[in-house]
Amino acid sequence: FQAEDGIRDYKVTGVQTCALPIWAIENSLPHPVVVLDREGRVLALNAAWRVLAAHAHPGPAELGIGGDFLAQGGAMIGHDAPAAERFRTGARAVLQGGAVLFRHEVRLCLDGFESRHAVSVVPLQPGPGGAVITWADVTALRQAEDAAQIGRAHV
């Protein structure tokens, strides 16, 4: 891929080149993705993020391009202030170049049901700095782990 004015050229050997808008690629991803600049402001949000934010409580559904993710989006990162602050500290470490990966698990209330998500923050590369944040729903995995633990306790 080569970025040029919001378009990426996709070339496969033996196949004609086609231009794809970056947003089309981002919105095709199944997991929520947010791209931040080096100050933590939103450069891009994909469709999966918008769905997650609209259903999360509390949810930063109004967070848009240029918004301060660490301030506004942080409300969604944890049910308590210490969890939100751990996320902000880890994300800032990636943004400032002090870490190449930060992982954090969060519990969200989505439409009245608790879900669990593994959140990863990695540097935006190549480029002038920034980060990419992704969410993976690990609810089913954690429920299976919890059930196995209960089963072992009854043996």
Q: What is the mean pLDDT of the segment spanning 75-98? A: 82
Put residue 66 in one of left, alpha, beta given phi > 0 → left and psi -120 to 50 → alpha. left
Q: What is the pLDDT of residues 27-71, one digit of tens each?
A: 777 788 899 999 999 888 888 888 887 777 555 556 778 888 888
Q: What is the mean pLDDT of the segment spanning 84-94? A: 89
**Count, residues in the chain:** 155
pLDDT bin (cut points 50, 70, 90) of residue 112 is: confident
DSSP string, 96-121: TTS-S-EEEEEEEEETTEEEEEEEEE
pLDDT of residue 31: 85
Tell me the C-alpha distance between 26 and 43, whole Å. Answer: 12
Check whether 134 has a pLDDT greater than 60.
Answer: yes
Cα dihedral 35→111→28→61 (10° resolution): -40
140 or 91, greater pLDDT: 91
